[in-house]
Structure 1
Amino acid sequence: MAGEEKTKSRFDDYSIRPVPKESRYGFYNIFLVFSSVYGAIAVIWAGGALGYELTFSQAILAVISGTIVLAILGALIAAVGSYSGLSTYVMWRFPLGRWGGKIAGLLLITITTGIGWYAVETWLFGIVMSEIFPNNPFFSVGMASIWGGILMIIMTYVGYRMLSFLSYFTIPFHIWLIGIGIAIVLALKGGMPAVFAASPAHETNLLYGISSVIGLYIAGTIISPDIARFAKSPKDASTAWISHIIFLYPFLILGGVAIVLVTGSYLITNAMLDLGMGIGVLLIIVFGQFIINTDNLYSGSLSLVNLYPIRREIASIINGVIGTAIAAYIGFTAGSSIVPFENFISLLGDFLPAMGGILIADFYVVKNFLTKMRNPHERYQFMPGNIYYNLNIAGVLALALGSIVGYFVSVGIPAINSLLTGFLSYIIIYYVFIKMGRKPEIFPYVYRGGDLK
């Protein structure tokens, strides 16, 4: 098959077919990969941003609230990835239909994670390099974004094996990084009383902080099946997700908050330099940005392959080139200003949670109670000869409603509003269709086997 040959190579990583049992890993490997690609340097950056806007007491409440939401949401979504063995975007063909899943994957993930997050992280890499080597044109924010992006594209070319390899020594670096930073804060800046007494430079409200905490991690939560599909069991996938986010996420983000609060520095990297942590620490930060951005580009490549059957590594190059160009543009225009980063994670918190709510509603409620598919191992499986659908009206409408509510409704927490609206509206719309004697899925097709097109 010509279409199948386009997507198959030694680096394909089962981009549009289930991961076979013999290629799956246990809890420890999945935990390490989750922790490395989702819990690394971007969390420390976000902690620094929160330290600029919240008191430490407010930050604790925001992080605890956001972590609980992300732990529950991610555990449920990761389990679906292990049950199905499918990437995030292929799974979306069930609640959104084949056409809807492809379009949503392109818009929500290729743009936000595969290109958007990748561009932001590449730009942050440029900021770090410009601080390590100031007044050097080759290490300016814009130029470092360009050559750094090229190196990240090369790493992503290999795929999950590269993520797995790097994860085994990335996590200790970041735990050590924040641990040393907190120890210095306690020793030189007056201890924890000074941290709790410090006032942020630009104070905002707690609800904004909670939404930012969720927004920072929501993209990774939604795309957790891209990693969880390699888990041997749903239990391994869910436990790995909960473990990494509960034990690592609060530690890293609150460490960033504490460091920025007591130093008064706007950027976490400047704050670390102010504490005398040295260039070696910044190099560790650079390494962390490389691995998390490798995952961003990896996930975006899976989304692009789902849209059009090309080889995954070629898709990573396409996304990487676009993302690197955007990062360079931000670097040359915004320089070291952290405002684009804050705006980006806030926007993710408005839009992306709706898709998580829809997926959970479809897999755990609609498939189980409305369509009577009791066995979770069978709910998201493509079986040759079975009829599937190109469009799911319930999913598309629920996604639109959840996104609109998350963006425009100012009452409450936007990320939670988006999540609950997507979840509830999908169930209600699907139920109404059934009561009318119809299904919300339209434009049927028969799956003939082989790679999914």
Structure 2
Amino acid sequence: MTSPTARERRRFIFDDYSLEEVPTTERYGLYNLFLTLSASFGAIAVLFAGGVLGGGLNFVDSTIAVLTGGTTALAIIGALSGAIGAYSGLSTYVGWRFPFGRVGGKVLGLALITITTGIGWFAVESWFFGVVMSEIFPHNPFFSVWAAALWGGALMILSTYIGYKALSFLSYLILPQHVWLIAVGLLLAVSLHGGWGAVLTATPKSHMTLAQAITDTVGLYIAGSLIAPDITRFAKRAKDAVTAWTLHMYVFYPFLILGAVAIVLLTGNVIITEDMLKLGMGIGVLLIIVLGQWIINTVNLYSGSLSFTNAIPMRRDYASIIVGVIGTLLAAYWGYTAGASLTPFEGFISLLGSLLPAAGGSVFAEFYIVRRYFDGIKDPYQRFKLEPGKEYPEINLVGILSFAAGAVAGFFVPGIAAINAILVAFTMHIVLAYVFKRANIRYEIGKYAYRGGVVK
């Protein structure tokens, strides 16, 4: 791929190559990827998940659930997904054009990411940011729930507007302070509550099965694992993307979640931030919440803006403003009404989000099996390659049908829903592609000529 001219780079500075391959001159190495992935996907949500585990399992069982169950499954899924992003240089949703077709990829991306993550969870997290700020600074109009949701959402929109460079910068700032704060909290809890032996002998207040713990740890991170290409498309090499994600899952993720488990077991309160406040870490908790929410919601909106741009072609930075403003206004409305229940809305976006693993199974099958063995494309850099002037399908029936089968399995087959959905969609995609090709049945409908990814 040829290097972009100075003029082209200026055009892309905020669009972040939303509809085309990231050029090699704009790629980053292993260290940058590790920090960005870890800070983007591993902040406050992981701490609260550790609190839930510590409330239902002892430390040994929690370690088993995290390391041998959830972490291993997520490391594999994220590595496979991240490698696709690095090989193709495409965002998750542009890459979906291959297994689902352009129209199929647009519809699925809009429903599963723009609505759920870009608008839905961005609104929920912005609202939660407002709630926390109002609790820390009560009786101050600037920090009321609706006001804090507004200016907090605006800050997150600004970060997303800038793009990957802002995520990278925030990661260098946020990741070290998370590690330091959890380490301090853990050492304080251990020193004040009986030492390391007390961690191993502490019993939780309630009961959770090991299977449920593994299911929860997988569910916590499955979305991040499957949209990893939004970040790893900036990797210089696929090896860097795989290594960065694997290190993140086996080093940073266990440290955060098991550190939270230990603190909860020692203090007896499953709300990890409350535990840290009781340990005298007031400023530390504030930093975790503010900076953690900031980067997590920036990633939510970043992925949502990429999906929105794929569905409705426009510059990604403009898309981030549109999607972010909608989410911020929702958050401010909830804060202003002070009592409106988010439960129905959270249930709706959780329902849509639970369909994402089925899409991931179809993507894996198309890239690693169908393109490699059925179509004979041995070079992984060419399997999801969009070339200007070349025609591609509008709809891929194999992908749509396999996605539907995976979604049904995720809802109705006993076990870990996300894993069931991925495996069924993966298997069905391979079987259907093989049968249709052998029977010479056309399963790609409609054609469009790719014109390049520049959006003015």
What TM-score comes out, normalization by structure 1 length? 0.91
Q: How far did 1:251 drift?
A: 0.9
Residue of structure 2 equivalent to 1:356: 360
Match for residue 309 of structure 1 among 307, 313, 319: 313
Amino acid of the structure 2 residue aligned with 1:292? I
Cα–Cα, structure 1 residues 156 and 341, in superposed 2: closer, same or farther, change >3 Å?
same
| Residue matched to 1:41 | 44
Q: Which segment drifts farther, 35-44 or 277-286?
A: 277-286
Structure 1 distance, partners of 2:207, 2:403, is 33
Letter in 2 for 1:95: P
Report the CA distance between 1:302 and its aligned residue: 0.7
Query: What does 1:73-92 correspond to in 2, within 5 Å?
Result: 73-92=77-96
Structure 1 partner of 2:325:
321
Asked if the contact 2:44–2:288 (Cα under 8 Å) also holds between the matched residues in 1, the reply is: no
Q: Do residues 390 (structure 1) and 394 (structure 2) align?
A: yes
Q: Deviation of residue 212 (structure 1)? A: 1.8
Distance in 1 between residues matched to 2:334 and 2:432, nearest whole Å: 41
Change in Cα spacing, 1:401 to 1:331, as seen in structure 2 (3 Å) is: farther
Taking the aligned partners of 1:197 and 1:122, their CA distance within structure 2 comes to 38
Aligned CA distance change for structure 1 residues 110 and 349 (closer, same or farther; 3 Å):
closer
Task: Tell me the CA shift for residue 33 of structure 1.
Answer: 0.9
SS at structure 2 position matched to 1:175: helix
Q: Is the 8 A contact 1:114 1:319 kept in 2?
A: yes
- Counterpart contact for 1:218–1:348, Cα < 8 Å: no
Structure 1 contact 75–238 (Cα < 8 Å) conserved: yes
Deviation for aligned residue 1:115 = 2.1
How far apart are residue 340 of structure 1 and its match?
8.8
In terms of mean alpha carbon deviation, does 198-207 or 103-112 score higher?
A: 198-207
1:261 corresponds in structure 2 to 265
Letter in 1 for 2:418: A
Instruction: Provide the secondary structure at the position in 2 that maps to 1:25.
Output: coil
Distance 1:180 1:222 in 2: 32
Contact 1:215–1:346 under 8 Å retained in 2? no
The CA distance in 2 between the partners of 1:252 and 1:10, in whole Å, is 34
> Which residue in 1 is equivalent to 2:178?
174
Letter in 2 for 1:261: L
Aligned counterpart for 1:23 among listed residues 10, 22, 26: 26
Are the counterparts in 2 of residues 45 and 268 from structure 1 also a CA contact under 8 Å?
Answer: yes
Q: Provide the residue aligned with 1:139 in structure 2.
A: 143
**Ranges in structure 1 where 5+ consecutive residues have no aligned partner:** none
* Cα separation, partners in 2 of 1:171 and 1:448, compared to 1, 3 Å: closer
Contact 1:211 1:346 in 2 (8 A): no
- In the superposition, relative to structure 1, how do residues 337 and 179 fare at CA in structure 2: closer, same or farther (>3 Å)? farther
Residue of structure 1 aligned with 2:164, choices 151, 160, 171: 160
Structure 1 residue matching 2:394: 3-state secondary structure: strand
Distance 1:415 1:294, change over 3 A: same
**Structure 1 residue 342: deviation in Å?**
9.3
Contact 1:214 1:349 in 2 (8 A): no
Aligned to 2:4: none
Counterpart pick for 1:62 among 60, 65, 82: 65
Determine the C-alpha separation between the residues in 2 that align with 1:192 and 1:120. 37
* Residue in structure 2 matched with residue 125 of structure 1 by the alignment: 129
Q: Return the offset for 1:11.
A: 0.7
How many angstroms does 1:240 deviate by?
Answer: 1.1
2:19/2:453 contact within 8 Å kept: no
- Matched length: 447
User: 2:65 touches 2:213 (CA, 8 Å); kept in 1?
Assistant: yes
Q: Tell me: CA distance 1:86–1:219, structure 2 relative to 1, closer, same or farther (3 Å).
A: same
Asked if the contact 1:11/1:312 (under 8 Å) is kept, the reply is: yes
1: distance between equivalents of 2:27 and 2:360?
A: 24
User: Contact 1:126–1:143 at 8 Å: present in 2 too?
Assistant: yes
- The match for 1:223 is 227
Shift of 1:322: 2.1
Q: Which residue of 2 aligns with 1:251?
A: 255
Tell me the equivalent position of 1:426: 429
| One-letter amino acid of the counterpart of residue 62, structure 1 | A
- Is the 8 Å Cα contact of residues 42 and 253 (structure 2) preserved in structure 1? yes
Measured at CA, do residues 172 and 266 of structure 1 come closer, stay the same or move farther in structure 2, by a change above 3 Å?
Answer: same
Q: Deviation at 1:71?
A: 0.7
- Taking the aligned partners of 2:144 and 2:449, their CA distance within structure 1 comes to 53
Find the aligned partners of 1:41 and 1:340 in 2 and give their Cα distance.
23
Distance in 1 of aligned mates of 2:162 and 2:233: 17
In terms of mean alpha carbon deviation, does 296-305 or 201-210 score higher?
A: 201-210
CA deviations 1:265-307 (Å, max 9, x no partner) are: 3422112111221234322331122122112111111111111
Deviates more, 1:250-259 or 1:125-134: 125-134
**Aligned equivalents of 1:250 and 1:200: distance in 2?**
19
CA contact (8 A) 2:14 2:161 kept: yes
Q: How far apart are 1:148 and its partner, in Å?
A: 1.1
Task: Work out the CA distance in 1 between the residues paired with 2:340 and 2:274.
Answer: 11
**Residue 294 of structure 2 corresponds to residue 290 of structure 1:** yes
- Is the aligned partner of 1:366 residue 2:370? yes
- TM-superposed deviation, 1:407: 2.2
Whole-Å separation in 2 of the counterparts to 1:111 and 1:202: 35
Measured in 2, the distance between the counterparts of 1:18 and 1:177 equals: 38
> d(CA) in 2 for partners of 1:170 and 1:448?
39
Pairwise CA distance, 1:450 = 5.3
**Structure 2: any 5+ residue segments left out of the alignment?**
1-7
Answer whether contact 1:212 1:346 (CA < 8 A) is retained: no
User: Considering only aligned residues, what root-mean-square deviation do their CA atoms show, in Å?
Assistant: 2.8
* More deviation, 291-300/134-143: 134-143
